[in-house]
Every structure is written in C-alpha cells, then in structure tokens.
Amino acid sequence: MTTTTEAAPPQVVPLAEPKRTRRRLTPYWLLLPGIAWLVVFFAVPMVYQGSTSLQTGSLEEGFKVTWHVATYWDALVEYKWHFVRSFSYAATATVLCLAIGYPLAYTIAFKASKRWRNVILILVIAPFFTSFLIRTLAWKTILSDGGVVVGALNTLHLLDISDALGLTSGHRVLATPLAVVCGLTYNFLPFMILPLYTSLERIDPRLHEAAGDLYARPFTTFRKVTFPISLPGVVAGTLLTFIPASGDYINAQLLGSPSEQMVGNGIQKQFLNVLDYPTAAALSFILMALILGMVTVYMKKAGTEELV
C-alpha cells in the first residue's frame, strides 16, 4: 500500500502592508510642493533677512555678521512714530472697512436677488483688475484741492472740523492723514467684504424666521443670531485688512506728506536710498513681530480660531 504526500501550497506574500504604507505617505508627498515653496520663498529669505539685520559695515566695505543686536533698538527708537502712524492708520482703515463692508455684505447675502448678488460681487472684485498704484494715483485726482470732494467739504464746513481734529490741514485733504486713511480704506475694502459675505451667506435663513417667531425684533435678531455666527468672517476680514495695511507705504507716499509716512516708507528708504540694509531688515522684523503679537492677542480676545 503506497501513500502519496501532497505538496504544500506556495506561500503568498501579503501586499496589504505596502499598500497601506503608500496610502499613509500619500498626503506627505502631496505636501512636498507646498513645503518646498515655503522653504525657498519664505524660510530661506527669512533666514537671510535675519542674518542681514545682525550685520555691520557699509556698501563699499561690505557687510559682515557681527551679531549687532543694538540695530533693533536703534531702528525702533528712530522710527517709533512711523510705527505709531502705521498701526493707527491701519486700525482706523480697518474700522472704516468694517463699518462700510458689513452692511454691504449683509445686503448681498440676504437682501439682493441672485442676479444682483452676482453683479454686486463683480463690482466689489473689479478694482483688483486695476493696478494698486493706478488706483492710489486716482485718489490724488479725487482729493485734489480744486476737486468736487474738497469743494463739497468746504461748502459744508466739514474741513473746519477735520482741521481742528488734525485730520486735515489748511482746508485741504491731500498730504494729510485723512487722505492716507481714505486710500487705505478704499484699497483694502474688498479684503473685508469678501470674508464677511462668505460668512453671512452660510447662515440659514430659517434662523431669522425662528427668531421672528419668538417675537425678536430685527435688531435683537442681528445682535443675538446674525453677528455672533458671522464673527469668523469679521475676524478674517479685519486680519486681512489690518495686516497688509500696516505694512503699506504706497498710500502714504502718494497721498500723504513726509510727516504722514508709515514704517513701510522707512523700510523702503533704508533699503533703496540710504542703503542701510541691517536697519531695513531690523525694521522689517520688528514690524512682523509686532503684528504677530497683536494678531495673537486679537485672536484670543475674539474667542474664535475659525477663519473663513
């Protein structure tokens, strides 16, 4: 009697583990282009700028890293009023943008029909198709001494009040703080409107109906329902307006005078005219640190981290 031994089946190497590994690594591979972009165009320039701020020397002799930290203090003392003007102008423009932008965004989201909603949004975005410089230069014509705006303000005697407040000087608007704030408000207004509209458009209209069914007045509905829900859009809009406005120098250069210059004008002067690269780099880092600190405090006070 003979017995036959069956051959053992060949062992199959499981492929599930390599597939799971590839799936786990896929998000990181997708992040590589963005990380490379940030490294090349953000991290490397930041390191170079930081090393520049710690150098001493001149353009003829060359600059060397000597860890001269006193440059930061000297720059802060010399340009302290530039920082004050930058943040005060930016804060004023941000408040004006919020006051103008919120009613407009509310109207687009809840009051305008679908056809008019698209038309108004196109009008809000349309200024982006024109150069920032040209838009600012146009305000020189609008606010010119012999223009309609200044004439109307003089007729209404409003320039007497603004002169007394220090916003204008000599019954003229150009080369005054008011002109700089007007330019900042106009140029950065779309950055406020779009986040506000996006946040308001997400609100379910049935919430307003429910508030009305509970006998809430329109203002109470806005205060208790609409505004709290739209707070992420307010936070996003104010940040998108305040941060670039603080570092702007075009509006102060074209619409202001030397006494209205902002810290951006000081950085431009040090980089391009004086050729004092360490001071310019130090001013840039101080501005960035101050804005980062204010944004951090603002985010904590606002009580939300959700940005639209």
The pLDDT profile of the chain, 308 residues, written as one tens digit per residue, is: 455 555 555 555 555 567 777 778 788 888 899 999 999 999 999 999 999 999 998 888 888 989 989 999 999 999 999 999 999 999 999 999 999 999 999 999 988 888 888 899 999 999 888 899 999 999 999 999 888 999 999 899 999 999 998 899 888 899 999 999 999 999 999 999 999 999 999 988 888 888 888 888 888 988 899 999 999 999 999 999 999 999 999 999 999 988 889 999 999 999 999 899 999 999 999 999 999 999 999 888 876 554 44
* Helices (H), ranges, 107-176: 114-125, 132-142, 148-155, 158-165
Separation in Å, CA 269 to CA 47, 71, 88, 174, 280 = 22, 16, 21, 22, 8
End-to-end CA distance of the chain: 83
Dist CA 52 CA 178 (whole Å): 35
Dist CA 179 CA 112 (whole Å): 32
